[in-house]
A and B are shown apart, each in its own frame.
Chain A
């Protein structure tokens, strides 16, 4: 399952610069808004689901090497957050939906 398919099926909006999402295959996911939990629990290649849109999301995503971050409930990161994400090659995706249904849909798509 590649990221392009996930973006289409979940109707996610990429916030960072476009690239070929078909080449990215997320392996599993992690859902939490507590950054330390993500540092401890997320694995490289995971999709991370959070409603945090703060700049430290980028640092955690980069240190944990997640494949993409889905920011839920339309929490919108400031432009400097998006700029930092672009700099560090982190993909930020946005959705109006809460984290719970997003995690459920990803699970049903076989992302686990």
Chain B
């Protein structure tokens, strides 16, 4: 879409765009594609007839406080009459002339199912300020102006923010709102073997959960990487899949995977960077770099790998939160719990 049209609407010209702004602009752009003309248009359309006089139309526009109207010849869209056309008529002393002599033709219209970005482009290219909106059969169903588009985007943004804020607000107060000697939140995910299609889903959900709980983005990323690698290990190696469990406490995050086989014969070797026993199927998809456990170690404060061949593997990962990272609320000095 054209940058000009958005800048025109939002007046960001000359302002320094911060990261926060950039994210918001990104969402506005997305909405420009998501929202359709039918979502933002005015449905109550005041129309003029071709034989009406310019002065009658002027009165109608004033009465409804609008700056233009489509001209309907029966069911047919015959033209558009705007303030500009009326000014032209006035300068020619033709207030009693008929609308058909001064209206703008041919009519550029928009489809109700088109994205608003298309209308914004039409506004920029044509210099028009309003577009009649027609449905599939060509019937007039509304009018769309830049004002309607701005209002539509703002309403959608407000709804987005409201929904996400509400979720964040509810979640971020969890530890504050619940009083106990030791509050923890446990998330559990069942990971299926060889389920590459859903690989990374649990990690994405965990990362989002942490952000909603108010974790700093860097911490959420760190946990995301660690649990992703652990999740993928279960998918690649475990016989029957396993359980990914994340325990979130105000002062630390414990992550753990458990499975019931096949187990790792040589744990020290498994921890060597570049060592991998991934299948050729997994390698073809870009897994098996032998960096998974190495990556995990880099992201967490403590990692423990216990494995018994034939029995199964347990991987423990722990991140202790710094003073700034700690979730608000909860006991200051929780007793050391059994894991």
Contacts and interface: CB of A to CB of B under 8 A. Distances in A.
Interface of A: 17-20, 22-25, 33-37, 39-40, 44, 50, 52, 54-60, 62-65, 80, 88-89
Interface in B283-339: 285-292, 294-295, 298
Main secondary structure of the interface of B (DSSP, over half): helix
B194 to A, nearest CB: 13
Interface residues of B, number: 35
B203 interface: yes
B265 interface: no
29 contacts: A19-B30, A20-B3, A23-B22, A23-B26, A25-B22, A33-B286, A34-B289, A34-B291, A35-B289, A36-B232, A36-B287, A36-B292, A36-B295, A37-B289, A37-B291, A39-B229, A52-B285, A52-B286, A54-B196, A55-B196, A56-B196, A56-B285, A57-B286, A59-B201, A59-B204, A60-B228, A62-B200, A63-B203, A80-B197
Nearest to A56: B199
Contact of B291 (A24, A36, A54, A64): A36
B199 A59 contact: yes
A60 B26 contact: no
B207 interface: yes
Interface of B: 1, 3, 6, 22, 25-26, 29-30, 32-33, 196-197, 199-201, 203-204, 207, 221, 224-225, 228-229, 232, 285-292, 294-295, 298
A20 B207 contact: no
B13 to A, nearest CB: 14
A62 B224 CA distance: 10
A22 to B, nearest CB: 6
